[in-house]
Amino acid sequence: GAGVSQTPSNKVTEKGKYVELRCDPISGHTALYWYRQSLGQGPEFLIYFQGTGAADDSGLPNDRFFAVRPEGSVSTLKIQRTERGDSAVYLCASSLEVGERADLNEQFFGPGTRLTVL
Amino acid sequence: AQSVSQHNHHVILSEAASLELGCNYSYGGTVNLFWYVQYPGQHLQLLLKYFSGDPLVKGIKGFEAEFIKSKFSFNLRKPSVQWSDTAEYFCAVNVLYGNNRLAFGKGNQVVVIP
């Protein structure tokens, strides 16, 4: 079956602009995660959705970052007034569920969106 | 908050050499442990995982990892590397019964010379 997909694969924007990054999780996966990977670093957690609601948004760096998942499937990460420091690869992952069954919590990652803010 | 440490960020090996990558985590509760691999131009893929049971875990492509609870470690090993093992390797941890967020180490960039 299809894996996690993300669009666009690359996004170049100018400082101060608004961007939207899209994630299509694996069909049937209830949990969706966004991570950010800066150059030379491992991925860092941003936000996690269980269904339509953001269950944990403690990783969002500031209020310029916002994410939605209105129908419990596709998610959009929105960044307002972009800054050069926002340049990174934004990764999306999904898992079947989150709960006591660790094997059902396994996260599958998409290819990422490389964001460059000039 | 959990933290994950990976040392020796850049590793250069010849083919057939043995590889060991260290991973230490800070959380003291029950954890799930993972190694992910990112080949050049590709996305993150799961190499192996530990949830419970036998602390010696075997993954794909001849990799294995050993969970040593007393040392808070989950080191990755491969007895004989190939050129195709050139990749970046990430150790990750999440907390059982938590919100499933993964905490990643900084990664090890491994280059295997033919």
Q: What is the pLDDT of residues B79-94, one digit of tens each?
A: 999 999 999 999 999 8
Q: What pLDDT is stored for residue B41 in this prediction?
A: 86
Q: Give the highest mean pLDDT range of B28-42, B65-79, B83-97.
A: B65-79
Q: Name residues whose C-beta falls within 8 Å of residue A59's C-beta, 6 or more positions apart in sequence.
A: A44, A45, A46, A47, B101
Average pLDDT in the A42-51 region?
Answer: 93
Q: What pLDDT is stored for residue B52 in this prediction?
A: 86
**Residues of chain A with C-beta less than 8 angstroms from the C-beta of B100:** 31, 33, 48, 95, 98, 105, 107
Average pLDDT value over all residues in chain B: 91
Asked if residues A59 and A46 have their Cβ atoms less than 8 Å apart, the reply is yes
CA A91 to mean position of chain CA atoms: 5
Q: What are φ and ψ of residue B104, in 5° steps?
A: -105, 150
Average pLDDT in the A32-38 region?
Answer: 96
Q: Which of A53-77 are b and which e, b meaning 16 or more Cβ less than 10 Å from the residue's Cβ? A: ebbbeebbeeeebebebeeebebeb
Q: What are φ and ψ of residue A90, in 5° steps?
A: -100, 120
pLDDT for A1 beyond 60: no
Amino acid at B49: K
Torsion of CA A81, A86, A92, A93, to 10 degrees: -130
Q: Which of B32, B44, B104 sits opposite A102 (nearest CB)?
A: B32
Interface residue B103 vs chain A (CB under 8 A): yes
Rounded Cα distance, B23 and B104, in Å = 10
Cα three-residue angle B58-B61-B62, rounded to 5 degrees: 50
Distances (CA, A) of B3 to A4, A48, A59, B69: 26, 18, 14, 15
pLDDT for A97 beyond 80: no
Cis peptide before A8 (omega within 30 of 0): yes
pLDDT for B60 beyond 60: yes
Q: How confident is the model at residue B98 (pLDDT cuts 50, 70, 90)?
A: low
Burial class (CB in 10 A: 0-12, 13-18, 19+), B90: buried
Task: Among A4, A24, A60, A109, pick the best mutation site for testing chain B contact (most B Cβ within 10 A).
Answer: A109
Asked if residues B101 and A59 have their Cβ atoms less than 8 Å apart, the reply is yes
Interface residue B52 vs chain A (CB under 8 A): yes
